[in-house]
Structure 1
């Protein structure tokens, strides 16, 4: 693969004297980082073996211009940066120094506390949060809530390494514009570690989700778009149109999972959410389509 076939930079970034290096050899050591970077200036701090695969690192130069010099050199060079023959991708970090003294919110854990700045609670759906964070590993659970600090989410990963990888990549970034409503200008993610290790999710809803338990009860009033029937002029129940279908599953010949239902109902349009639950001794499911589906 040539150096031009994979972008060196994923974001338009503000220069920092701390550089974020990706695609390093596993268990890359500090001396190897210093060897790569020292032609461009003095290295004052490093942080190795970051991320789920321990193949990322941070390097802090003594001076901002030294970091800019390194980034500029490899951005225009036909020869990529390499360690042990592996191409290394370099970008500016959103941090301006490497701090090794860890405050409580910096002690790595498997649950992240994410504050989404610049939005109201309804502006960013739980599905968008899941999409953004699941790029770094399997997301077990998400709980969203509103605090004095703003709209926040707790996101549970399998382990601290995966959570660390997500935090290092996303802290200080913005959710991609195309995933946000038109009226939202920009929203920044502020991410720290939570003291929680296992979130207690009691219902699947638009505010909380457990992706490990498809049989968790659904709170019907909390799923967006679910409407209750009303009484028509003739005294009979009148079903309101809704973008959420309620399906009763009878005579199951095989296990019906969220994936199975998603496959079946995707034949009729884009399925946004599927939730399975037990009610009155039977199995039911809610299938949500986009709001304008009907």
Structure 2
């Protein structure tokens, strides 16, 4: 048997008055809530906008600041017909310089003008190179084709070199082993950033590994491009910098976290980090009569 359901609502004058009073109170509470919310939006302390990037200090003559994919880099374009570029590791005593600061002081003491210096490859705890190192035509450490863990062994890795003919190139380590070029200066590192116009196949477009990083590319046989980020950057973005912004068909990663750049007198990027191999650009020595 169906039951009749009575509708619930105000059934008398007293009930109607109570209903209206409750509606007014609810309306007042709602209005107060809206006003409080509006005031909170206006008065709540907002996170300040990030300050504009301020880059101070003069850069060495071959260098400039370059913005790429929201990261600022110091990019040094070195014409080998104008500047001397060399790879260094140890002083006259046979001991590793150990840092850019020590290198700058040692070379200045010899009366040579360092325009810029950058850490130039990976090293063991004793500062010896992990891979190939050639100084002034003399091989100090052999080519390393081994497989192991770490960035150096993220194949393909590669070699940056300046030949005895004064021409520069970046090539894969296996290609170097087969070609056996006549080398004046060379340093091996890894991974390659750009290989014949393509970024390293193992790189994600913008991976989560972020460090201040530095690398070297070659635009043509006379033009070497050194770059170091001023803030953390992924491998993928760093590789695209060399390929897309700097015009390098081949480029090599040098290091991260300990990346540093000096102008022969003071640090521009990085701090008192240890260094194994060092790439340096020096003013040409005047010809003696």
Q: TM-score, normalised by structure 1?
A: 0.23
Scaled by the length of structure 2, what TM-score is found? 0.23
Q: Which has the larger radius of gyration?
A: 2
Greater RCO structure (CA 8 Å; 6+ sep): 2
